[in-house]
Structure 1
Amino acid sequence: MKILYFAWVRERIGLESETVEPPATVRTVADLAGWLAARGEGYARAFENPRIVRAALDRRHAKPDSAIDGVNEIAFFPPMTGG
């Protein structure tokens, strides 16, 4: 699956995007964030407070307990504010 990173999530990880194959035990957005956080220091910093990082599955906002099975693209980004 393709993962996109935006704003400070991208800055901390150091990548705009990547393609990953998480293990079968990674079934939800929260599972994926935890798996990514274990991949290294930049990931750990990006997901140190996973409750504030937002996600979109195939361009639709998703909750942490949303299933990722069959998803082609997942985006992680910080909360947005309007102006």
Structure 2
Amino acid sequence: MIKVLFFASFREKLKCEELLVDEGSYPELLSSLKNQLAEKNDDWREVMMSERTLVAVNQTMTRKDVSLKSGDEVAFFPPVTGG
């Protein structure tokens, strides 16, 4: 199982805080997970396909396409600014 988390405005836009993807239902690569989630509807597609979306796997930020395994946590964040 993979736990997928959504933060800040993504949580509100997608009306989803957390999603559990069961064994056998999740793809092997982060890019494939994003494509799978993007198929839900236009809001999900916008979030998943945006170049600005930030992603962390197991609390480590990544811009690379990484392999996923059972027990992983994937988190999606909107771009953030300091102030």
Aligned to 1:52, the other structure's residue is in SS state coil
Q: 1:19 & 1:71 partners in 2: Cα distance?
A: 10
CA deviation digits over 1:12-66, x for unaligned, max 9?
2101111013646x222222111101023432232242x1111111111012412
Contact residue 12 and residue 45 of structure 1 kept, 8 A: no
Count how many residue pairs are aligned between Structure 1 and Structure 2. Answer: 81
1:56 paired to 2:83:
no
Give the match for residue 20 of structure 2. 19
Q: Which ranges of structure 2 fall in alignment gaps of 5 or more residues?
A: none
Query: Normalized against structure 2, the TM-score is what?
Result: 0.78
Identity %: 27
**Is the alpha carbon distance of 1:71 and 1:53 closer, same or farther for their aligned partners in structure 2, counting shifts above 3 Å?**
farther
TM-score between both structures, scaled by the size of structure 1: 0.78
CA contact (8 A) 2:55 2:62 kept: yes
Q: CA RMSD in A?
A: 2.0
Q: Aligned residue for 2:79?
A: 79
Are 1:40 and 2:44 matched, yes or no? Answer: no
- 1:10 is the counterpart of 2:35: no
What is the DSSP-based 3-state SS (H/G/I as helix, E as strand, rest coil) of the residue aligned with 1:39?
coil
SS in 1 for 2:9: helix
